[in-house]
């Protein structure tokens, strides 16, 4: 992908209204329904943008309408995952990349926080042991220093 980016040709994304195909609008309505569900029941929703037959410029149009919110985060696990809150509270963009910078998946997640961002219960199960190991290692270092 990095080599593709190196080609000095840019695709004309047709972001002007003349080329509007109307493909972003149905997704925004789906987001609205998901927000209603989140508010009423607390149930979150993920929408896979890779599964939507968007044309050039449609994703840019969609994200431009959603805007940019207060929170952005990067997770480093099997490559970077970029998380961006949109200007609509509860609507997040979660962009999964591999270690070579290629996009693996691109989701809109409607939730209080994206699922992948919080500490995972399976990892928490090992956290006390991990801390204990560091405490023992740290106290050993201190004894050696004194």
Q: How far is it, in rounded angstroms, from Cα 140 to Cα 144? A: 6
Interface residue list for another protein (CB under 8 A): 1, 4, 11, 14, 18-19, 21-23, 45-48, 50-56, 58, 75, 77-79, 81, 96, 98, 100, 102-105, 107, 115-116, 120-123
Q: What is the distance between the alpha carbons of residues 75 and 78, in angstroms, rounded to a whole number?
A: 9
88 contacts 67 by C-beta, under 8 angstroms:
yes
CA dihedral sign, ordered 62, 25, 104, 123: positive
CB of 119 to another protein, least distance (A): 9
Closest CB 115 distance from another protein, rounded Å: 7
Tokens of 29: 């309505």
User: Closest distance between another protein and the C-beta of residue 71, in Å?
Assistant: 17
Query: Which of 45/113 has CB closer to another protein?
Result: 45
């Amino acid at each position: 992908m990095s080599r593709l980016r190196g080609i000095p040709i840019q695709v004309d994304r047709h972001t002007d209204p003349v080329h509007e195909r109307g493909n972003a609008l149905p997704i925004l309505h789906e987001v609205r329904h998901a927000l209603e569900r989140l508010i009423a029941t607390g149930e979150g929703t993920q929408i896979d943008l890779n599964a939507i037959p968007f044309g050039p410029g449609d994703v840019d149009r969609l994200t431009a309408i959603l805007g940019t919110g207060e929170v952005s985060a990067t997770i480093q696990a099997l490559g970077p995952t970029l998380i961006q809150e949109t200007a609509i509270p509860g609507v997040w963009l979660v962009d999964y990349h591999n270690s070579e910078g290629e996009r693996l998946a691109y989701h809109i997640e409607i939730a209080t926080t994206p699922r992948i961002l919080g500490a995972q219960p399976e990892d928490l199960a090992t956290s006390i042991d991990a801390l204990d190991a560091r405490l023992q290692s740290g106290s050993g270092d201190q004894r050696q220093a004194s």
